[in-house]
Amino acid sequence: MIVLGFHSGHDAAAAIFKDYELVAFVKEERITRKKSDGHKIPFDSIQECLKIAGLNILDVDAVSMSKAHLPIKYYKKTSRWQDNINKLIGKFKVRILATEMSKQGVYDALEILNLDYMKKDLGLCDDVVFDFANHHYSHMLGAFYYTQWIEKSLYITADGGGDGAFYSAYYFDGKSLIEIYGGDKYIYDHEKNYASIGHAYSYVTEILGFTPNKHEGKITGLAALGEPVFKDKIVEQFIITDTGKIDSKLESEKALYELLNSMKENTSAENLAASIQVATEEVILKWISSLMKSYEVEYIGMSGGVFANVRLNQKVAEIEGIKDVFIFPPMGDEGLSVGNIIAFLEKNKGLKRLIKNRKNMKIPYFGQEYSSEKILNEVPKGMIVYNKDDYIEKAALLLKKYVGAIFFAGMEAGPRALGARSMIASPSDRSINDSLNQRLNRTEFMPFAPYVRDIDARKIFKIEDSMYNACKFMTITTDVYEQYVDLIPAVVHVDKTARPQIISRDDNYLYYDVLTEFQNLTQLPVLINTSFNAHEEPIINTPKEAFQSLLDDRIDFLIFENFLVLPNKLGVELS
């Protein structure tokens, strides 16, 4: 069975499952090259996914989507709709399905949708099955499906909001998934309180001059430089109920914004960032602790934008009694394209079969792969191509002074570069954070992340058992052992933490071997890994984009398969 999933809100994306196997997953921005592209049907990533999976749209048996943005023409012209249609046309081209269902008190999306237009626009078969998944349930299922804990597992989600909810919690006892909080009924709750901890973090991002829903990571980095002077004032706005919900004392989003904005008048950006960071940690930890009073928990799965917060995730992994945590790597809304399909499989084939097919997530290289022939065809003029046996040694040698990039397999899913489209550099000098960020036109307060071989990881980073799996996906910070802090200063934050990615040779031989050679040359056990893109540009996807980066002087050299490509002037150093 071929199921196509997509999300049409912000950070739109598409994915395809063949039976129970994810075979393609691409975020719309990576194809259209517009950061966080969305609020539309992601036609470009749907086409890309079909190409990756070697399928035709007519092969698709079912489509599962979020209750997000759909063009006006897909809605039935009800009398209420007709009343407003003249006002709407030309003003809004899309409407949010969940909002329309809520306003019209409709429980089945098909009551207000006419999917003939969508079938036609996408070229789908007439008998294709449509399903609409719940936002938080989809977030949660991404974490559930890619863990294999057999019982005592808590799955939680938190984000800026979706389908009327801001959080959800589910408990897996080995047989069933018990909904503690979240679910479809929140779509119809018109009395709900909109002041959520996810909103609070986004508001601080905005108040400090950055883009909400995009630059929250900068605030996490900035937080380590300040004191959490307003932490208590933020925490006291949130109440944890006996039923395991997070509620708020504030009556509206506006009140939350005004409270946080007033703090800015009385403190530095660093202190406000520290306040929201520590407050978020405290609220989420209190929430988990309250859930742990009612449920026996040894494992915690997390998803939703709030859990892009690597520092928060470390705190969760450090909770006493927790044996393992997992953060779904595409934890933001792009991951809903995958969760929507899992929700469809659960609904149509049953939870029992879904449980049987759960698996641990492999390194998520789900984009289009390119043959060396195709990549070589794109090498620009004026570049030297090495393909000798020692190309990896040569690349490692260059890394002592220069910045390289790796182009391997298909592009990563999720916000982090994990060795498929990564820029790599030496961690020995802290100043590279400024010089490389300047070269890429980026502003960051957190140092670059390191990657490390599995055989070395625990010598350098204090990786508890509960953190190890999350470290494969760079979704968590760890402490750094004192003796390494000064040896690898470019990847250690002021609070002596880092965000390591643990890599095995089976995951990516090229990424692994270049680090081995670098280590032989320098005795340094890590390399910087930063995403292969410039400021505000989505992560690179195609060979052409990779070589453009070389031409634009963002990187000094590129390696792929058994090739090293560099400009003539740098080639002199190797001859």
Q: Would you tell me which residues interact with Fe ion (CB under 5 A)? A: 159, 162, 333
Distance in Å, CB of 510 to Fe ion, minimum: 34
333 or 537: CB nearest Fe ion: 333
Distance in Å, CB of 82 to Fe ion, minimum: 32
Calculated CA dihedral for residues 437, 517, 378, 402, nearest 10 degrees:
30
Polymer length of the chain:
575
Distance in Å, CB of 142 to Fe ion, minimum: 11
76 token code pair:
């039935």
For 492, residues 6+ apart whose C-beta sits below 8 A from its C-beta are: 447, 480, 484, 485, 498
In whole angstroms, give the CA distance from residue 386 to residue 392.
Answer: 10
Distance in Å, CB of 504 to Fe ion, minimum: 31
Distance in Å, CB of 168 to Fe ion, minimum: 10
In whole angstroms, give the CA distance from residue 310 to residue 501.
Answer: 12
For 483, residues 6+ apart whose C-beta sits below 8 A from its C-beta are: none
13 or 355: CB nearest Fe ion: 13
Longest CA–CA separation in the chain, Å = 76
Distance in Å, CB of 360 to Fe ion, minimum: 23
Distance in Å, CB of 136 to Fe ion, minimum: 7
162 or 538: CB nearest Fe ion: 162
Distance in Å, CB of 133 to Fe ion, minimum: 12
164 or 500: CB nearest Fe ion: 164
Q: For the purposes of burial, counting CB atoms within 10 Å of the CB of 373, is it exposed (0-12), middle (13-18) or buried (19 or more)? A: exposed
In whole angstroms, give the CA distance from residue 85 to residue 8.
Answer: 22
In whole angstroms, give the CA distance from residue 90 to residue 509.
Answer: 52
Distance in Å, CB of 332 to Fe ion, minimum: 7
Distance in Å, CB of 305 to Fe ion, minimum: 6
Q: What is the torsional sign of CA 133, 136, 139, 143?
A: negative
| Pick from 564, 555, 569, 529: nearest CA to 396 | 564
245 or 421: CB nearest Fe ion: 245
45 or 529: CB nearest Fe ion: 45
280 or 426: CB nearest Fe ion: 280
196 or 501: CB nearest Fe ion: 196
Distance in Å, CB of 533 to Fe ion, minimum: 23
Three-state DSSP at 176 gives coil
135 or 499: CB nearest Fe ion: 135
For residue 174, CA distances in Å to 154, 171, 355 come to 11, 9, 9
DSSP tag of 536: T
For 382, residues 6+ apart whose C-beta sits below 8 A from its C-beta are: 567, 568
Secondary element (H or E) of residue 69 = strand 69-71
Q: What is the torsional sign of CA 366, 557, 426, 524?
A: positive
120 token code pair:
């036609």
142 or 364: CB nearest Fe ion: 142
Distance in Å, CB of 304 to Fe ion, minimum: 5
Residues 497, 394 contacting (CB under 8 angstroms): no
In whole angstroms, give the CA distance from residue 496 to residue 477.
Answer: 10
197 or 564: CB nearest Fe ion: 197
- Bridge partners (DSSP) of residue 24 are 16
184 or 324: CB nearest Fe ion: 184
Secondary element (H or E) of residue 6 = strand 2-7
In whole angstroms, give the CA distance from residue 450 to residue 459.
Answer: 14
159 or 464: CB nearest Fe ion: 159
DSSP tag of 418: -
Query: Which residue's Cβ has the minimum distance to Fe ion?
Result: 159
User: Residue 212 is which amino acid?
Assistant: P
470 token code pair:
């999350």
Measured in Å, how far apart are the chain's first and last C-alpha atoms?
54
Residues 50, 16 contacting (CB under 8 angstroms): yes
Distance in Å, CB of 333 to Fe ion, minimum: 5
